[in-house]
Amino acid sequence: MATIDLSPLYRSSIGFDRMARLLDAAMRSEGNGAGGYPPYNIEVIGENRYAITLAVAGFAEDELSIEVENGVLKVQGRKADETEERQYLHKGIGFRNFERKFNLADHVEVKGAKMENGLLTIGLEKIIPEAAKPKKISIGNSLNLLEKSEA
């Protein structure tokens, strides 16, 4: 795997540290095999609405946790230890613990989650604040700043 040195980006830019961290994290996680379990989909539901669906068959709702901190959505699954002693002829279903992280863009909020048929679906929405929305400026002759004042 090729390594990219991002240190010049850190020392010559201000305010882009989150983007640099995202690139750094993407490069680190690319080769460690963390991308496989549990499988997931990211879907566009509508304008500014998204859903992440994770295949968590075998996990109960109380064995899953979802939290958001500093723009990172973290989904964890922790299986309770089996109290019943079982004898398997073949054990192909792996109920292993997992932690899956998703970096959220600015103004993306988690709206809720549901569990159905072994699939955990997390609803997300990008809520653009009024200050960031485009503003229509009307053209007229009422701007006093451009007129010369007579003193």
Model confidence band, residue 30 (pLDDT cutoffs 50, 70, 90): low
- What is the model's pLDDT at position 9? 63
When pLDDT is averaged across residues 14-20 and rounded to a whole number, the result is 64
Collapsing DSSP to helix, strand or coil, 102 comes out as: strand
Pick among 3.40.50.1110, 1.10.10.10, 2.60.40.790, 1.25.40.10: CATH of 38-81+95-129 = 2.60.40.790
Residue pair 66/74 in contact by the 8 Å Cβ criterion: yes
Per residue in 82-104, pLDDT (tens digit) is 777 888 899 887 778 999 999 89
- pTM summary value: 0.68
| Alpha-carbon torsion (49, 54, 60, 63), positive or negative | negative
pLDDT interval class at 4 (50, 70, 90)? low
**Angle value at C-alpha 126, between 133 and 42, nearest 5 degrees:** 145
Report the distance separating Cα 42 and Cα 126, nearest Å: 14
**How many other β-carbons are positioned within 10 Å of the β-carbon of residue 59?**
21
